[in-house]
Structures are given as structure tokens and as C-alpha cells.
């Protein structure tokens, strides 16, 4: 059993370290890692990506609580903005999970592969967005929040890649944008996890140890190590040439993206 879990433990370590080192969400590592490990196993081929995404969101429930607490202690969470965004992103996460339930695993893999390519390009060419205006008012803000939640649930991420640029573009200082985005990841992960459990409940082709589209053995292996190793990534960020590592990681993401796009 331990031997079987070793690859999942590796995914947990990699997601935590890279999240702390480069500021990318753990889902970017967890989803393709799980998709690779679960393919060819006891899971039906058309459910592999659904389980990878649903399990990633379950892991993000734990990692986002840790991140949220750390940012809150430093006063970096704008709770007034969080209260405005939370309902929309939670609703969007449910919508995203419902949409995903009707998509084939290959389609989800294609969507995620395109997303990885965009993240890789942003790591190489994109600086931090320049703030230039205030946060949109409702109903525009609710539409933005719903879109972020929907995309995050489709991709199995906490939404920071989408939320931080919106907040920074809206004249929120970067450290508060990052902290508030970490808080927003929690309702995305909770609502998305619940929806993936519901949409996969009772389906054939899922192995023992799953609740709907959440595979608990992988969750138990990945989530604790992702939380434990994130501080290591932060320390490495101060000791290693992060700009060079950013290029290397971008190349890695591009390679993974091509692998997912080509099948």
C-alpha cells in the first residue's frame, strides 16, 4: 500500500514546493500528476480527468485554509472584497463541476492543457498586472466572480491565477490581492469538491476509495505534504535564482500541456 502511494506523495511534495517557490497554485501540479497516475488504473478512461480535478479541489480545501491563515495573520486579506466575491465564485464552482460532468475526460484534458500553456506564457512574458481602477460594481463583479469559480472548478485550481490579476487590475495592492485570492480559494474548493462528489456519486467505473469524483487515498497522500512543503518552497525562493527556475518551470508546464493535448 505504501509503495502504491509513493507517486502520490511525490505529487504532494512537488505541488507544495512549487507553490511556495513560484507562487503558482498547487492544482497546476496536482491535476496533471493525478491524471498521469490514474490513467490505466481502475478508473474508467472517461472519468480520469474528473477524478483528478475533483481530488485536486479536495486537496485545495486543506491547502487554502493553511494559506488563508498565513495571509490573515499578516493582515493581507481584504474581507470586504472576499464577502463580495465569495457567493459568485462558490456558485460558479458548482456550475463548473456540473458542466464538467457532461464533458469527456479528453475534453477536460484539452481545456487544462490550453490553460497550462497560458500559465507558462505568463510565467515567461507576463509581469504583474498594473492596477488602474476600482473593483467593478454588481452585477459586473458577480459575473466576474461566477466566471472565476466556473473556470476554477473546470480546471481543479484555487483560482489565484484568475483572481489576482482581477484584483490587481482593480487597484488592490499586490500583497492584499494575493491574500484575498487565497481566501477566495476556500469557497471555490469547498463548493467544487461537494459538486464533484455529487456529480460522480454512484457512477460506474470508479475505484474503491472514491466518493463521487474524489479519490480519498490520493487526497490523504497529497494534501498534508503540500501544506508541509510549501514553506520549504518559500525558503528556496530566497536562496535560488527564481527567474531561471521560472523559465525551467514554464518549459515543464509547456511539455505537460503538450502531453495532455496530444493524449
Does residue 206 register a pLDDT over 80?
yes
Position 131 confidence tier, pLDDT thresholds 50, 70, 90: low
pLDDT surpassing 50 at residue 134 = yes
CB 37: neighbour CB atoms within 10 A? Answer: 18
Of 2-11, 82-91, 110-119, least confident by mean pLDDT is: 2-11
Burial degree of 146 (CB within 10 A; 0-12, 13-18, 19+): buried
The three-class DSSP label of residue 206 is coil
The three-class DSSP label of residue 172 is: coil
Q: In this predicted structure, what is the pLDDT of residue 236? A: 80
pTM: predicted TM-score of the whole model, two decimal places: 0.89
pLDDT band at 259 (very low <50, low <70, confident <90, very high): confident
Q: Distances from the Cα of 36 to the Cαs of 33, 51, 69, in angstroms?
A: 5, 12, 31
Determine the pLDDT at residue 2: 46
Amino acid at each position: 500500500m505504501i509503495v502504491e502511494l509513493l507517486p502520490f506523495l511525490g505529487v504532494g511534495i512537488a505541488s507544495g514546493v512549487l507553490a511556495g517557490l513560484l507562487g503558482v497554485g498547487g492544482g497546476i501540479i496536482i491535476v496533471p500528476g493525478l491524471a498521469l497516475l490514474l490513467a490505466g488504473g481502475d478508473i474508467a478512461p472517461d472519468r480520469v480527468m474528473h477524478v483528478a480535478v475533483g481530488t485536486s479541489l479536495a486537496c485545495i480545501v486543506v491547502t487554502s485554509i493553511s494559506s488563508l491563515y498565513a495571509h490573515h495573520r499578516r493582515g493581507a486579506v481584504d474581507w470586504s472584497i472576499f464577502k463580495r466575491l465569495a457567493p459568485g465564485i462558490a456558485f460558479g464552482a458548482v456550475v463548473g463541476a456540473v458542466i464538467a460532468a457532461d464533458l469527456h475526460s479528453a475534453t477536460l484534458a484539452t481545456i487544462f492543457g490550453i490553460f497550462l500553456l497560458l500559465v507558462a506564457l505568463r510565467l515567461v512574458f507576463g509581469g504583474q498586472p498594473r492596477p488602474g481602477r476600482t473593483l467593478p460594481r454588481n452585477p459586473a463583479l458577480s459575473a466576474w466572480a461566477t466566471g472565476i469559480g466556473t473556470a476554477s472548478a473546470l480546471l481543479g485550481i484555487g483560482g489565484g491565477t484568475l483572481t489576482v490579476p482581477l484584483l490587481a487590475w482593480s487597484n488592490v495592492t499586490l500583497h492584499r490581492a494575493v491574500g484575498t485570492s487565497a481566501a477566495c480559494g476556500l469557497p471555490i474548493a469547498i463548493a467544487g469538491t461537494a459538486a464533484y462528489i455529487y456529480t460522480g456519486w454512484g457512477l460506474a467505473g470508479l475505484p474503491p476509495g472514491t466518493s463521487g469524483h474524489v479519490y480519498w487515498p490520493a487526497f490523504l497522500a497529497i494534501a498534508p505534504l503540500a501544506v508541509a512543503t510549501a514553506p520549504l518552497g518559500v525558503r528556496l525562493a530566497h536562496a535560488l535564482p527564481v527567474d531561471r527556475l521560472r523559465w525551467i518551470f514554464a518549459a515543464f508546464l509547456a511539455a505537460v500541456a503538450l502531453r495532455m493535448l496530444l493524449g
